[in-house]
Structure 1
Amino acid sequence: MSLTGAYDPDNVFAKILRGDLPCVKVWEDDRVLAFMDVFPQSEGHVLLVSKVSTARNLLEVEPAVLAELAEGVRRTARAAARALTPDGISVMQYNGDAGGQTVFHLHFHVVPRWADRALKGHGHAPMADAETLKALAGRIAAAMD
């Protein structure tokens, strides 16, 4: 998919937001949902999406929605740092197929990193165990401020 086009209401994140597909929630409010990536690049990999916008990428998002997502990313990264004590955290956001985007609903990745652990490839990591994701989500949620 290119950087332009129509929003697909049947993308996987839209299905999660509608409740058509399950997810392991870390936290949510009326406007943002944070949930565990089922193909994590690293332990504690969290995705954040807007519940109110159909922006496909950063180029289309409404400024107020972007601000809400950015604050959610900050809060989630702080909680992941407290809960998992990584050596670092990567925040990633991809735009367009050539830019690495695989789901065309604007989303951000919060990926805890450790110096002695290799990062798995984006879109190439194996599916994680649901119970492991639930435990990690609980630890991160408990560390939210």
Structure 2
Amino acid sequence: MPVAATGDYDDGNIFARILRGEIPSQRIYEDAFAVAFHDINPQAPVHVLVIPRGPYISWADFSARATDAEIAGFVRAVGQVARDLGLEEPGYRLLANAGVHAHQEVPHLHVHIFGGRQMGAMLPR
């Protein structure tokens, strides 16, 4: 069920539980600001999720409440993961759903990194 982009953070969501080590994940990157792991239901040959360590629901929440260091660290982590995966050439797609209209399913900010094939048009015309 999609979640609203506003409201109180649910520390029982699956990504919060992954961060605490309660649920296993195939981690490929982690630092003080972010954790990256393979999606359990990949939609492309490469499909990785990058999540901030802090309790943020959406980009709006993150940009309003995170420290400058958290924001910079998270953005750098996303870029580092893409480089580590060898996706700079021929390219990759980033996706962050926020709220009900975007079909955000987990109420924790996350960025999908898709690669390994041609992605096609962003939205149907």
Q: TM-score, normalised by structure 1?
A: 0.71
**1:47/1:107 contact within 8 Å kept:** yes
Runs of 4 or more, structure 1, over 4 Å off, are none
Task: Report which of the two has the higher share of helix.
Answer: 1
Task: Report 1:81-120 matches (<5 A).
Answer: 81=86, 87-115=90-118
Alpha-carbon offset, residue 8 of structure 1: 0.6
Task: Report 1:120-131 matches (<5 A).
Answer: none
Specify every segment of 5 or more residues in structure 2 that has no aligned partner in the other structure, as ranges: 121-125
**2:46/2:114 contact within 8 Å kept:** yes
Specify every segment of 5 or more residues in structure 1 that has no aligned partner in the other structure, as ranges: 119-145
Aligned-partner residue type, residue 48 of structure 1: V
Aligned-partner residue type, residue 74 of structure 1: G
Alpha-carbon offset, residue 113 of structure 1: 4.0
**2:5/2:107 contact within 8 Å kept:** no
- How many residue pairs get aligned? The number is 115
**Match of residue 58 from structure 2:** 57
**Match of residue 123 from structure 2:** none
Q: Percent same amino acid among aligned pairs? A: 30
| CA distance 1:86–1:114, shift in 2 (3 Å) | farther
Distance in 2 (alpha carbons) for counterparts of 1:102 and 1:42 = 18
**1:57/1:104 contact within 8 Å kept:** yes
**CA shift digits 1:18-69 (9 cap, x unpaired):** 1110000101112211111111111221111111x11100001115222211
Q: TM-score, normalised by structure 2?
A: 0.82
